[in-house]
Amino acid sequence: MALVKEISHLSSVSHSFQYKYLKSRKLHKPICSLHFNNKPNSSNSSPFTEKHSIGRFERESWLYRDDPTFSSSSSSCSLPYDSNSIRENDIVLQLPELKKLLQVLREKRKRNVGCGGEKERRIGNVFLVGTGPGDPELLTVKALRVIQSADLLLYDRLVSNDVLDLVGDHARLLYVGKTAGYHSRTQEEIHELLLNFAEAGANVVRLKGGDPLVFGRGGEEMDFLQQQGIQVTVIPGITAASGIAAELGIPLTHRGVANSVRFLTGHSRKGGTDPLYVAESAADPDSTLVIYMGLATLPSLALKLIHHGLQADTPAAAVERGTTPQQRIVFSRLQDLAEKISLVELVSPTLIIIGKVVALSPLWPESYKEASFLVEAR
């Protein structure tokens, strides 16, 4: 994998509220922010960037060059147990190099302005780029061009390692991913990073898995930056629903079987077990449901759908790490799906597809006779 530099949090940190916050933190002693997970089937086997994966810290090694406790070959660094301490220590350790990078960008901007009578201030550009569900060959040509020409890339957890391998050697990357119980950056901090580096004149790429405007909070980032006068270009990506359904040979709509498709988030309020929203209309037998981030709330979701009239034997599929070499698939009837997922221990990210079209997949384990019946029944 090409070793690419990564850019971190807080651009004009010296004047931002985050910098003031960091200066107020009291660290007991230097703490290494590394903790490599070498267990089988854990972060090392993931096609994505997990919070303590080796790949993440290899890409971010430039941020820790002044930290004497850092060693890319070490897997036994001491860490505080709670994720808030890990996050805060990461930010403190990264801060010196981030400040240096901002200064370099500002000096470069001044040099470019000087002679030619150009505007005194050149604002950089921000690109919100969707990278698809994981397979790098699903990137758009436009996304690839922007990724390879960026100065700085802020990337999420679900941007696959194969996609990150395509980043230009001159670029720097910063992991800003979120997972349950660990947010490497808050959403507000991500906003400030994008703003401050753009103001310093950098071409900033915000990399997101799937499509940036489908359950990716891209709309919030775009709105914030536009209010600050920063130009934002959105480059769409293949959302997981489309990419993974195609991988399985599932048509999300099909004449006589499903006349609509609905995307739902499985997230709950405050980490509970109930999904945010399941309307009675979501239990439409003529529609296909695709649930993002729904592992934790699936048991409740399935019960509610059945309660609202969806047949308990509706075909369903759950796909872990879809379109990547680590893809795993569970096919089931709706009433048994949560149990089967639990038995094989699927992990995030897992996409769930519910609807009669699932039985049209050539991978559907039951007879093709049923699939034919679905098409001919109308």
Catalytic residues: 156, 178, 293
Going by C-alpha positions, the residue among 326, 337, 125, 82 that lies closest to residue 234 is 125
SS3 317: strand
Q: Could you tell me which residues come within 8 angstroms of residue 84 by beta carbon, excluding any fewer than 6 positions away? A: none
Tell me the C-alpha distance between 198 and 224, whole Å. 13
Question: Which of left, alpha, beta for 159 (phi over 0: left; psi -120 to 50: alpha)?
Answer: beta
Amino acid at 269: R
Q: How many CB atoms lie within 10 A of CB 277?
A: 10
DSSP assignment of 214-282? SSSSHHHHHHHHHHTT--EEEE----HHHHHHHHHT--SSBTTTBSEEEEEE--BGGG-SSBS---GGG
